[in-house]
Structure 1
């Protein structure tokens, strides 16, 4: 079987099941709600509408901060999609007929990567729209610049979509390496929602730790995008002064994906499937 045929088969698997669009709906709700709340609060704070007792925010760069909510809080969704692309097959044992039809396992994995890239683009477009539409509405409503006329804003959107693609690839690598679906999902959630945030926050209090935490996948993703709710909010250990250059962040995140895929292929993918 050729790569084209394997990719067509993999696309049929992914787009005819409910996993991707269920997570897409949750992504829309989660990112949309976050962008709506923050769009209102940040826009009101930037214009002084919250009153004398309210916090103040500079209007410069506010649009990029709000738009980046899709990647700042929504990156876990493409990560989960990539993980489920593989672990679901292990769980339901659908890999057995797949490997019988396509004995070259590297070809099967390559097909998953190609389809994963397509899913990352789709989720990226959905995520960007979910954060940009409500954010821009509040910015315009408060008389602030939406920056749609700036090429940097559109470059930001492109980098956000690229981040979604890379997170899907990281997820595929996790799924290939960790066959157990429950273990893989729990590991993903524990790391992204607890371990890394705690580590990045601790970097604000431990000298030198920031030099390490900026290379963590979430920090690399923020650097790639070039804006983040966390860096703008000034959270400890997340200052923009310590961020990587955007292209370095992309290379680091891609490196995580490649290392996980390589280890998974060598240590797990080639093992027998029952």
Structure 2
């Protein structure tokens, strides 16, 4: 397993993909701080500047999914399987490298968002407020980014086809999630959205825990889990996607 991890790490940094996706991570993270800075209202918390890991999620998913799909696309999966016959080890190594990529991109995004935001606030003459729950926001965001990377890597192994895997992940994580959450507000209030991976990421990074139902109904229905349930469910998702990837590798590889 150690040798396999070392080989996967070399693959990680031996191509241009990691920095080709790293550049837009920096750009998007820097832009992510601007709405907070440009708003005319006084800034009362730096917490939004600590949510930078979420800005990297799109690129984490793309990179992690291609850890597996690129091998199927270019046929290098054959040599990988010959060198490491135990398919379970291959899945675990890809998931771990996907998690490392998530941590790497998430850390870069968090640092860039925070530094850019602080500099912009200072240049605009706005006071820099104190941050609360820094560990939960930053630590939870990076943990969510790592789990998202492991999940995407395993889905890439399960689907095999690069385009199909990327489209499926983007639709489920970034389109379907927002659609279901939007339709669940108001008279169609539902608890289903909190099980979606994107909302689990929000839950882990200390997102908004409740959304109020229409006027006249004085109750709150949670659309997000608290930290520990969200973590448990996300780990289950990663494990199930890993099993799917392992099952996919049991089939003939051409």
Common topology (TM > 0.5): yes
Pairing partner for 1:195 from 153, 159, 176: 176
Q: Contact 2:52 / 2:111 at 8 angstroms: preserved in 1? A: no
RMSD: 2.4
Number of aligned residue pairs: give it.
247
Provide the rounded CA distance (Å) in 2 between the counterparts of 1:240 and 1:139: 35
SS of alignment partner, residue 46 of structure 2: helix
Does the 8 A contact of 1:136 with 1:146 survive in 2?
no
Query: Which of 136, 139, 145 does residue 155 from structure 1 map onto?
Result: 136
**Structure 2: how far apart are the matches of 1:270 and 1:235?**
47
- Offset at residue 67 of structure 1 (A): 2.2
- Residue pairs, 1:1-274, within 5 angstroms: 3-35=1-33, 37-42=34-39, 44-46=40-42, 59=44, 62-71=45-54, 73-140=55-122, 141-147=125-131, 152-209=133-190, 211-227=191-207, 241-266=222-247, 268-274=248-254
Residues 90 and 197 of structure 1: CA distance in aligned 2, closer, same or farther (over 3 Å):
same
Give the distance between the partners of 1:175 and 1:157, measured in 2 at CA. Answer: 27
Structure 1 residues 241 and 235: alpha-carbon distance in aligned structure 2, compared to 1, 3 A threshold: closer
SS at match of 1:75: helix
Note the C-alpha offset of 1:116. Answer: 2.3
For 1:89 and 1:38, locate their aligned partners in 2 and report how far apart those are by CA, in whole Å: 39
Cα distance, 1:206 vs structure 2: 4.0
**Long gaps (5+) in structure 2:** 215-219
1:225-260 Cα shifts (integer Å, max 9, x gaps): 0036xx79x7999x8953210122222222211111
Give 1:263 deviation, angstroms.
1.9
TM-score by length of 1: 0.82
Q: Gapped runs of 5+ residues in structure 1?
A: 48-58
Q: Please report the TM-score for the alignment, with normalisation by the length of structure 2.
A: 0.88
Aligned 8 A contact 1:38 1:66 in 2: no
